[in-house]
Amino acid sequence: MPKPARLPPLSPCKNVGDYLFLRGGISRWLWRVYTQRLTPGGRWFALASLVFFAYGGVSLQLQGYVLAGYVIALWLVAAGAMLGYRPRVKLQAALASRVCAGETITAIVRIEQRGFLGGADLFLLPHRLPPEIDAVPMDGSPVPDLSNGRSAQVRIGLLCGQRGAYTLRGFRVESGFPFNILRSRQTFPEQRRLLVYPKFTPLGRLALPIGRRYQPGGVAMTSQLGESFEYRGNREYRDGDNPRDIDWRATARATKPIVREWVEEYMLRAAVILDTHIPARLGRKAAVIRREDFERAVSLAAAVSDHMARKDYLVDLFAAGPNLYHLTAGRSLAYLDQILDILACVEENPVEPFDAIEPRLAELLERLSTVICVFLQWDAPRRDFALRLQSHGISVKLIVVREGACALDPALDANLLGEIPVITKRQFDAGLSQL
């Protein structure tokens, strides 16, 4: 994910290094002090202190110097407490490793007091969150006052705004004791991987022109759980038969070895191809719109994969970003989570993805019943790709996710390739129950 070129928010949980706006070491250090060391009340007090210092520096009256001296004394005591009265706790955190975009994941943290002086004004915060994840509440969750050896469970939310693979850097416990203007803290670095899935609406119906095709090796080659070959009947034992297939009851009746005969199954197998192409030479506004289309296409691919995972399908997912992803799922080969893991990580591609996908897809053409293509554009390269697939006797279902007109009119190719729906932002936001 590219770094955001904006000023970091005032949340003390953010990692300043993830923002391009603050490039220099001094500016980042000052921002960390302002957002992470100063409490919200401390920021206002810092502004008031500047006024006192300015007044005390220009005024000839004794009262101005006295007021500035009191302010300096407060800052010195707060700074001494920040350095010498750090929290002394032990922390254990538990949270899920996967969540859907737009949802809030709850971290359950057990905090045990280890300091003899006890804890006061303690707060729990995530440590250096990426820009796409926010703490709920923004300034952390309060920790109950604990005596030495006592513990408590504290919950804090993580709002995941955008799909992707992120690294959580741990948690920290802070204290504003004694004046709640400066924070002292104890950090617990512990890297955790968090996958944020694309947000999607489950499809109630997906119309597919599909038929079963023979899979070499049958179900045994595609799944080791839940199914077996179709039972045809019994016959006499032949050399090379598996002894495990001997029907002992029939053997006892016939007084000669009898084996069960199985037939390898024909199965439904579909490929989902996600278009990741976003041209590099787009204008700023056009690039933003195209990236929004791409995110909706990823969500739609997730909805299609989810629908087929709930049905009797083998699913081959193809997505070519900077890396080519290919996963075969269904029939216990892989769970839906593994498909969503890929869709959480897939990135845009400045070059056409078909040169990378077609060689891998060619290996499966004889086994595929249908191919579902989720495109970002309808143009000559995509039309030719769909026609090449159709020439191999494969049913093709095409879906275009795009805001604005396509390079070619999809309606003109409906006779050749079937209806090609164009999903706009308005249709997507309204929710797609069927395709």
Rounded Cα gap, residues 109 and 367, in angstroms: 49
Give me the pLDDT at residue 223, please: 43
pLDDT of residue 242: 80
Please report, for residues 6, 196, 257, 392, the alpha-carbon distance to residue 162 in angstroms, rounded to integers and kept in the order given.
Answer: 17, 7, 62, 38
DSSP 267-312: EEEEEEEE--B--TT--HHHHHHHHHHHHHHHHHHHHHHHHHHTTT
| C-alpha–C-alpha distance, residues 62 and 186, integer Å | 41
Query: Which of these, 393, 396, 330, lies nearest to 365 by C-alpha position?
Result: 393
CA atoms within a 13 Å half-sphere pointing along the CA-CB vector of 435? 30
DSSP string, 58-74: H--SHHHHHHHHHHHHH
pLDDT at 119: 65
Q: Consecutive sets of 10 residues in the chain, 435 residues long: mean pLDDT of each?
A: 76 87 85 90 91 74 72 90 86 93 94 77 92 92 87 94 94 90 92 93 80 49 43 78 84 86 66 91 87 94 87 82 80 71 90 88 84 94 92 90 92 91 92 83
Q: What angle do CA 103, 105, 110 make, to 5 degrees?
A: 165
Q: Pinpoint the residues of the chain covered by CATH 3.40.50.410.
A: 267-430
Give the fold, CATH level 3, of 267-430: Rossmann fold (3.40.50)
pLDDT for the residue numbered 52: 81
| Helix extents (H) in 129-247 | 218-222
**Tokens at 254, concatenated:** 């016939």
pLDDT number for residue 301: 93
CATH 2.60.40.10 in the chain, residue ranges:
1-197
Q: What does pTM read for this prediction?
A: 0.80
DSSP conformation letters of 14-47? B-GGG-TT--SHHHHHHHHIIIIIB-HHHHHHHH
CA atoms within 13 A on the CB side of 104: 12
Give the residue from 153, 85, 77 showing the smallest Cα distance to 117: 85
Angle at Cα 387 formed by Cα 384 and Cα 392, nearest 5°? 135
Q: Report the length, in residues, of the chain.
A: 435
> What single DSSP character describes residue 52?
H
**CATH number 2.60.40.10 given to 1-197:** yes
Among candidates 285, 435, 287, 350, which has minimal Cα distance to 422?
435
How far apart (Å, rounded) are the C-alpha atoms in residues 254 and 256? Answer: 5
Instruction: Write the burial class of residue 48 (CB in 10 Å: 0-12 exposed, 13-18 middle, 19+ buried).
Output: exposed
160 forms bridges with which residues in the sheet?
133
What pLDDT was estimated at residue 62?
57
